[in-house]
């Protein structure tokens, strides 16, 4: 049996006896009440999980301020970045379940937590550099800190640029459905 006919034979068999064309590439039935439940439940679960982390980070930040610990410490910076990360994730999962926003804003809210994660890693690098160079830390502190701030700011700006470009690409594709997908709007 040639390979093409073997593929056809496998594609034409279904366990429930229905037509093979019904199962390949069909969209889900909009009248089926069970399909929207699972993605919505997943989004609500994720929003609740991130909301719990958001509250935990906020409580830790509050405790740090109330007990008069150092605000300019690695612990406070880490908690602040974690708080921003969870706030963006909560916002994203609530957006998924409740409303539709402009494309650039949805992309920004989706990808900006990655910049927060890299900010967390840069805090780890700063802390490690402080441990390694503890005798010269006062001299090197400004160099390390300025590099981390510059790199994280560049990442946030690149994320914003990417979000705006994706919005323009989507608008260009929607306005000209006959376009070949080339970036003729640039």
Q: Tens digit of pLDDT for each residue in 35-48?
A: 455 567 888 888 89
User: Would you state the pLDDT for residue 57?
Assistant: 93
Task: Please report whether residue 124 resides in a domain.
Answer: yes
Is residue 45 located within the same domain as residue 89?
A: yes
Task: Please report whether residue 186 resides in a domain.
Answer: no
For the entire predicted model, the pTM comes to 0.67
Task: Please report whether residue 19 resides in a domain.
Answer: no
Is residue 45 located within the same domain as residue 92?
A: yes
Task: Please report whether residue 140 resides in a domain.
Answer: yes
**C-alpha to C-alpha distances, 143 to 140, 158, 167, 185, nearest whole angstrom:** 5, 22, 36, 41
Is residue 90 located within the same domain as residue 119?
A: no
Domain count for the chain: 2
What is the domain extent for residue 165?
100-172
Q: Give the residue from 159, 155, 151 showing the smallest Cα distance to 126.
A: 151
Over range 6-26, report the average pLDDT: 39
Q: Tens digit of pLDDT for each residue in 100-123?
A: 777 788 888 889 999 999 999 999
Task: Please report whether residue 93 resides in a domain.
Answer: yes
Which of 99, 125, 146 represents a domain boundary (last residue)?
99
Q: Tens digit of pLDDT for each residue in 71-90?
A: 788 889 999 999 999 999 99
Is residue 64 located within the same domain as residue 123?
A: no
User: Would you state the pLDDT for residue 84?
Assistant: 94
* CB 172 within 8 Å of CB 179: yes
Q: Give the residue from 121, 141, 139, 143 showing the smallest Cα distance to 130.
A: 141
* CB 69 within 8 Å of CB 75: yes
Is residue 105 located within the same domain as residue 158?
A: yes
Task: Please report whether residue 14 resides in a domain.
Answer: no
Task: Please report whether residue 21 resides in a domain.
Answer: no
Is residue 111 located within the same domain as residue 164?
A: yes
* CB 120 within 8 Å of CB 152: no
Is residue 90 located within the same domain as residue 137?
A: no
Task: Please report whether residue 20 resides in a domain.
Answer: no
Residues 6+ apart with CB under 8 A from 4: none
Over range 120-133, report the average pLDDT: 93
């Amino acid at each position: 049996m040639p390979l093409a006919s073997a593929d056809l034979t496998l594609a034409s068999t279904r366990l429930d006896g229905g037509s093979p064309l019904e199962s390949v590439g069909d969209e889900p039935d909009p009248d089926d009440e069970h399909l929207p439940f699972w993605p919505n439940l997943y989004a609500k679960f994720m929003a609740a999980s991130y909301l719990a982390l958001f509250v935990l980070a906020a409580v830790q930040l509050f405790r740090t301020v109330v007990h008069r610990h150092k605000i300019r410490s690695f612990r406070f910076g880490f908690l602040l970045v974690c708080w921003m990360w969870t706030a963006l994730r909560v916002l994203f999962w609530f957006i998924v379940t409740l409303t539709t926003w402009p494309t650039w804003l949805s992309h920004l809210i989706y990808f900006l937590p990655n910049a927060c994660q890299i900010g967390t890693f840069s805090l780890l690098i700063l802390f490690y550099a402080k441990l390694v160079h503890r005798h010269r830390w006062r001299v090197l502190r400004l160099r390390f800190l300025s590099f981390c701030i510059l790199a994280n700011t560049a990442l946030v700006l690149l994320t914003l640029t990417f979000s705006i470009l994706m919005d323009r690409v989507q608008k260009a594709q929607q306005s000209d459905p006959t376009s070949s997908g080339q970036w003729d709007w640039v």
